[in-house]
Amino acid sequence: MAENISEISSAPTPLIQLRDVSKTYRKSGTDITIFHNLNLEIKAGDFVAVMGPSGSGKTTLLNLLGGIDRADAGSIAINDEELTHMSESRLSRWRADTVGFIFQFYNLMPMLNAASNVELPLLLTRLSRSERRKNVETALQIVGLEDRAGHSPKELSGGQQQRVAIARAIVSDPKLLLCDEPTGDLDRGTAAEILETLQMLNRDFGKTIIMVTHDPEAARYAKRVLHLDKGHFIEKELSS
């Protein structure tokens, strides 16, 4: 049974709070409203799948939550920090500390091996080389690729490349993982392995995960499913 998202009870202090968020893009001289007074709360440790038709604003939502794009109006607070009025430099630091991104296409640097790809987010931190190396080793171990650290992307399967991308996303220990169709380029069996990895990160490491997907089978791995359509959320219970 569907409910309006504003009627869903949530934790007293959610990790993510959107209040009356509006976002409009201008295309070919026409204003296209993606969101108008959008509200959302997500508690820490949740795993939410976001579904909806093309053009419904799913990727825009991830960009707003990741501080890549800015709302035109309203408030976005994550981990008790208000994104709306942050300077670009402060927003960059916040993003590096708080958010890990996982995409459909792995976005690995082809000239770097797996370990060096995973290390990239740490190069802008104050960690020493030995500290960075330890973090990289831990991240690769978590995704089961410690024995592939020296391999280049072309020497890895698609599933292994996505695991490297996941290791890169978690290497700085962010609270929030934003996943945009993370299994869209994988076969069903490999996709299941990646989704099980995300479940493990949520279950064992307490990562809050928001995953955009078109695939109902992928959405089953989440704890909650939100359907985004015409700028509004509808939450549906997962079938057993």
CATH code: domain of residue 108: 3.40.50.300
Element (H, E) at 133: helix 129-142
Q: Rounded CA gap, 63 and 98, in Å? A: 14
Whether 75 is covered by a domain: the verdict is no
Whether 35 is covered by a domain: the verdict is no
Domain range for residue 231? Answer: 45-67+87-237
| Number of domains making up the chain | 1
Whether 95 is covered by a domain: the verdict is yes
Whether 135 is covered by a domain: the verdict is yes
Whether 194 is covered by a domain: the verdict is yes
Element (H, E) at 132: helix 129-142
Whether 13 is covered by a domain: the verdict is no
Q: What burial letters (b/e) apply to 16-54, b meaning 16+ CB within 10 Å?
A: bbbeebebeeeeeeeeeebbbebbbbbeebbbbbbbbee
Whether 121 is covered by a domain: the verdict is yes
Token pair, residue 79, equals 């981990």
pLDDT tens digit at each of 240 positions of the chain: 344 444 444 445 799 999 999 999 887 778 888 888 899 999 999 999 999 888 788 999 999 999 999 999 999 999 889 998 889 989 988 998 899 999 988 899 999 999 999 999 999 888 899 999 999 999 999 999 999 999 999 999 999 999 999 999 999 999 999 999 999 888 999 999 999 999 999 999 999 999 999 999 999 999 999 998 877 787 665 554
